[in-house]
Every structure is written in C-alpha cells, then in structure tokens.
C-alpha cells in the first residue's frame, strides 16, 4: 500500500465519522426545535414523549416486568436513555448516507419523522396540530443536515478521481466542519434547554397546586397510635413522605391538568350518568384515611409500596349517585392519558375507604401522583385500582371491558397478597455481634396482620413483636432482637399471617400475572 492510499483510507474514515456526527447533530436540532415548540403546543406534541409512550404501550409484559425489576422507579430514565442511543445510531446512519447522497439521507430523516408523527397522532389526547412542532423540527433538522453534510463531504478527498484534492477541500474544511458542527450543536442545546425551562414555567398544574387550599375532611383519620413505628433504627418510616413515595406509571410526561378544567365523567351501566368538576368534588363530605398502596410489580422484599394519609371522596357515594344497573360488575377508570384500570364494582361499594383522592399527606396530590384527582382503593394493587389523573369512570362488566395491563397479560382482578419484608439489617450489611435488632414491615390490606415470625439461619421460627396497628389498610411494622448473635454470615427469613390466621404464601412466584409470592430473606454479617 502506498502512502497515498493510506491517506485516502483515513480520510474516508474521517469523512464517515463526520457524516455520522452531522447526522447526530441534525437529529439534535430536530428534537430541540420540536421540544421547544411543544412547550407551546402541549405535551402531546412532544415527539420524544410520544415515541416513548408508544413504546411503553407496546412493551410486552415480560419486558415491563424486567424493566421494573431491574431499574425499579428508574425505568423511565433507562427508557429515555435507550431511545437516545437508538436515535443517535439511526441519525448517524442517515448522516453517513447524506454525506454521500443528500437526498437518500434526507429520505431516511423524513421516514423517521413519519414514524414519529404516527406515534404522536395515535396518542389518546392528540390532535392534528400536535404534529406541527415535529414538522418544524424536521425542516430544521434537514437544513442542518444539508449544511453539515456538505461541510463533511469536503473533508474527504475526491479519492475516486485521479486529481489530488484542492487545498479548499482539505485542511481548512476539517476545521470548518468542526466549527460549524459546534455552532449548530450549541444552538440546538440552547433551544432544547430553553424549551425545557419554558415547559416548566408554563405548567398550569404546578402553578395552581402551589396555592391550592384543600378543605378540611368531614371525617378525619384517627390519630396514629403511638408505637406504629417499630423501635429499630433504619426501618422504613411508617408514613412515606410524598417525595419518597414510589412512582409507577406509563406517563413519560406527567399530565398537566388545570383543576378548573378537570371533570370526571361517570357513565356506562348506570341510571344516572353525570359529570363532576373539581370544586363540586371538594364541596362534598371528604374523608381522610391511611392506606398502604402496593404495586403488583413489587418483587419479594421490594420497595414498590408506600403508605400515606389520603384525603378524598368515597367512591361508594359516587356510585350511589350513579346507580349501577343490574349485571354490572366492574368500574373501568381511565386517566387523561389513556391508562385504565378495572376495579370490581363491589369493592367500590363496600365500606372500605375507596376514594377519589385529592390530598396526600396533608397536601394536594403531587403531580406525579395524580394531580388533581386519583383513585385510592385499599386492598387492590395499583394497576387495577389506583388510576392517577382520573377523568372517566365507566360502570361495565369484566366480560365487556379490560384495563390497560389486563390486555397486556396481567390479571383483571388484583387483590394484594399478604407480604412481609426484612428492612434491618440491610441485605449484605454488617452489624456488631451481641444483640442484633431486626425489623421490617408486613401488609395484608383490608384484613390486617396478626402475626409475624422470623427464622435465623435454619433455626426454629420465632414470633416477632408487632408494632401498633394504625388500620387494617396500612402496613404493620415488626421487630425482633436476636440476642447473643455470633460473628459470621447469617440469614434471616420472615413470614406473616393475616387477621384470619392465613400464612403468607411460601412458594416463590414472580410478579406477573397477579403479584409475587414467597418468604423474604436476607443475608448479613455479624462482626
């Protein structure tokens, strides 16, 4: 190989790299413009949100399961990161193609834009105007691609001809390309960042929530008995602060609902169809109660559970007003973003505190937890009961209709299974020898916990001390002091009994399709 051809190869390689860079930066321009404009057109017009949401909706149950089990409440971050990587790879290819033949690369970009437009238009709350930001972004992205791919093209020599590259095609153009790339990329970052800031500033729900005063409940929650918190340092707080409350939903962009425009439609198999607005809802007799929410995706020992003091209006009153007709056995609740849950009708009519919640731990619901109104139903996993941003209740039948996750492989009815977990010591933690405090939580919502037992290594099961019970709808803490713990690696296992004396299921089962089972155990070191 002569020196000449080696140079050409390295120039080709560099040209390809520049083409790829031109593609990625142009995609950045596309998304920056689209996200910026979506601040004015509404979240439904954001291509990133629409593509991600569409992806979530088509995610098979096993993958959702895997994502939540692996990434927990970081699942959305991982999804966005993966989307970013795929988008970068595709746009790099488009850039490489565009450097050789602009029309071909541009066609690829337009094809991606069409796919994104379909994602936008098929979302629950989208209208035709919602493709405008994407359209403008695509125009901007194509202009950037043409500009940058031209610059990238001149950086490689015209190696197919015998003519040596002219000076203009060589050294200066490499710098030119990099400078132009940096300028375009910088502009995209500024526009994208500006869009994020404006988006935050234009969030109506956030602004309204900040000054919203909720009425006092007609029926207040009984004061927490002393001793609901097990006397072991490191056990989960009995009441979960709102900021620490687990969040699980399919909403990539948190719905921005102005309570002034919020309405709940109650219809279906009822004698009295009606809609209720936010002010009217607040004017009803509200009740307050502690309820522990649990996610069906929680693995044995997992932390997808939280306990809060909820304020809201009993769903049994809502249904009493609507008067379900004979044969109805389910209420399909739907959120503004299209998520839905199927709740057995009798559960919403019995005397448990199933509510349309407006308050959480003394504040209006946080945006991520359903502002302005969500459902909270003691005893059922969230996926069949806890619809956030709820706007529609349809009284129907299980035979006729199905909730969001039910049509994706999960059960239609979702009673919470009795569970218990060890929280202290931490798994693989180190504790000093002697008297070792052990503690955790257990739950059997609507029934209550009657007994918790622990087993150290392979010893006999010992009864733990139960903390005070706040209500049968909340979790209950337990503790156990292991005296004279010898140094070494040890295992502790826990199991709970509900109020009927039924023992928690021992067989290990994964969350899908109706909740995990198994006795939790952890290993720790006594030093």
Segment interacting with ligand MTE (CB under 6 A) among 78-86, 130-138, 380-388, 428-436: 380-388
Q: Are 432 and 490 in contact (CB under 8 A)?
A: no
What's the CA gap between 502 and 173, in Å, rounded? 77
* 308 binds ligand MTE per the rule CB under 6 A: no
Interacting partner of 246 out of ligand MTE, Mo ion, none (Cβ under 5 to 8 A depending on kind): ligand MTE
Minimum gap (Å) between residue 337 Cβ and ligand MTE: 6
Q: Which residues contact 492 (CB under 8 A, 6 or more apart)?
A: 422, 425, 438, 454, 455, 456, 482, 521, 522, 524
- Residue 63 or 89: the one with the smaller Cβ distance to Mo ion is 63
Residues in the site for Mo ion, rule: CB under 5 A?
A: 248, 295, 382-383
* 208 binds ligand MTE per the rule CB under 6 A: no
What's the CA gap between 421 and 493, in Å, rounded? 8
Segment interacting with ligand MTE (CB under 6 A) among 62-70, 167-175, 209-217, 386-394: 386-394
Q: Are 414 and 380 in contact (CB under 8 A)?
A: yes
Count of Cβ atoms closer than 10 Å to residue 65 Cβ? 20
* 524 binds ligand MTE per the rule CB under 6 A: no
* 497 binds ligand MTE per the rule CB under 6 A: no
- Alpha carbon 348 to its chain's center: 25
Subset of 420-449 contacting ligand MTE (CB under 6 A): none
Q: Among 134, 184, 185, 251, which residue sits at the site for ligand MTE (rule: CB under 6 A)? A: 251
Minimum gap (Å) between residue 505 Cβ and ligand MTE: 20
Report CA torsion sign: 317, 322, 327, 330. negative
* 388 binds ligand MTE per the rule CB under 6 A: yes
Minimum gap (Å) between residue 101 Cβ and ligand MTE: 44
What's the CA gap between 246 and 73, in Å, rounded? 7
Residue 452 pairs in a beta bridge with: 496
* 369 binds ligand MTE per the rule CB under 6 A: yes
Q: Among 138, 149, 307, 387, which residue sits at the site for ligand MTE (rule: CB under 6 A)? A: 387
* 240 binds ligand MTE per the rule CB under 6 A: no
Q: What is the 3-state secondary structure (H, E, C) of 236-270?
A: CCCCCCHHHCCCCCCCCCCCCCCHHHCEEEEEECE
Interacting partner of 369 out of Mo ion, ligand MTE, none (Cβ under 5 to 8 A depending on kind): ligand MTE
* 290 binds ligand MTE per the rule CB under 6 A: no
Instruction: Detail the DSSP E strand segments found in 336-433.
Output: 340-344, 355-360, 363-364, 374-376, 390-396, 419-424, 430-431
Minimum gap (Å) between residue 351 Cβ and Mo ion: 25
- Residue 16 or 250: the one with the smaller Cβ distance to ligand MTE is 250
Q: Which residues contact 33 (CB under 8 A, 6 or more apart)?
A: 133, 136, 137, 140, 141, 191
- Residue 311 or 341: the one with the smaller Cβ distance to Mo ion is 341
């Amino acid at each position: 190989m002569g020196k000449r051809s080696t140079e050409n190869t390295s120039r080709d390689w560099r040209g390809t790299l520049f083409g790829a860079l031109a593609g990625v930066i142009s995609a950045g321009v596309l998304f920056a413009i689209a996200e910026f404009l979506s601040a004015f057109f509404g979240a439904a017009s954001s291509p990133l949100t629409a593509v991600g949401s569409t992806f979530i909706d088509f995610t098979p149950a096993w993958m959702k399961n895997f994502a939540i089990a692996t990434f927990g409440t970081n699942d959305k971050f991982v999804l966005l990161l993966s989307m970013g990587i795929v988008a970068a790879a595709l746009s790099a290819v488009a850039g490489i193609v565009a450097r050789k033949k602009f029309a071909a690369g541009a066609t690829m970009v337009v094809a991606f834009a069409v796919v994104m437009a379909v994602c936008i238009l098929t979302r629950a709350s989208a209208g035709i105007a919602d493709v405008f930001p994407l359209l403008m972004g695509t125009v901007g992205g194509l202009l950037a691609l043409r500009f940058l791919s031209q610059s990238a093209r001149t950086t490689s020599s015209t190696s197919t001809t015998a003519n040596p590259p002219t000076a203009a095609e060589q050294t200066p153009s490499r710098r030119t390309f990099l400078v132009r790339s940096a300028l375009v990329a910088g502009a995209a970052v500024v526009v994208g960042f500006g869009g994020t800031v404006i988006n935050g500033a234009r969030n109506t729900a956030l602004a309204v929530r900040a000054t919203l005063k909720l009425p006092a409940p007609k029926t207040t929650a009984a004061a927490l008995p002393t001793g609901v918190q097990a006397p072991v340092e490191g056990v989960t707080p009995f009441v979960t602060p709102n900021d620490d409350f687990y969040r699980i939903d399919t909403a990539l962009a948190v719905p921005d609902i102005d309570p002034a425009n919020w309405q709940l439609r109650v219809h279906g198999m009822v004698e009295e169809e009606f809609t209720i607005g936010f002010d009217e809802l607040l004017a009803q007799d509200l009740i307050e109660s502690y309820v522990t929410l649990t996610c069906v995706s929680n693995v044995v020992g997992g932390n997808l559970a939280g306990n809060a003091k909820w304020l809201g209006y009993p769903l049994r009153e809502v249904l009493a007003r609507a008067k379900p007709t004979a044969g109805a056995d389910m209420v399909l609740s739907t959120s503004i973003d299209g998520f839905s849950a199927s709740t057995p009708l009798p559960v919403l009519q019995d005397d448990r505190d199933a509510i349309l919640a407006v308050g959480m731990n003394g504040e209006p619901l946080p945006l991520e937890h359903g502002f302005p109104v969500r459902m909270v139903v003691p005893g059922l996993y969230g996926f069949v009961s806890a619809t956030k941003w709820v706007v529609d209740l349809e009284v129907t039948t299980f035979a006729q209709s199905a909730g969001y996750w039910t049509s994706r492989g999960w059960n239609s009815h979702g009673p919470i299974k009795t569970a218990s977990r060890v929280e202290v010591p931490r798994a693989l933690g180190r504790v000093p020898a002697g008297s070792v405090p052990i503690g955790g939580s257990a739950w059997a919502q609507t029934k209550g916990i009657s007994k918790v037992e622990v087993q150290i290594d392979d010893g006999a099961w010992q009864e733990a001390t139960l903390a005070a019970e706040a209500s049968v709808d909340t979790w209950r803490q337990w503790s156990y002091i292991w005296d004279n713990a010898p140094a070494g690696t040890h295992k502790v296992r826990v199991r709970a009994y509900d109020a009927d004396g039924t023992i928690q299921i021992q067989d290990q089962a994964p969350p899908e399709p109706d909740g995990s089972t198994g006795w939790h155990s952890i290993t720790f070191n006594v030093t």
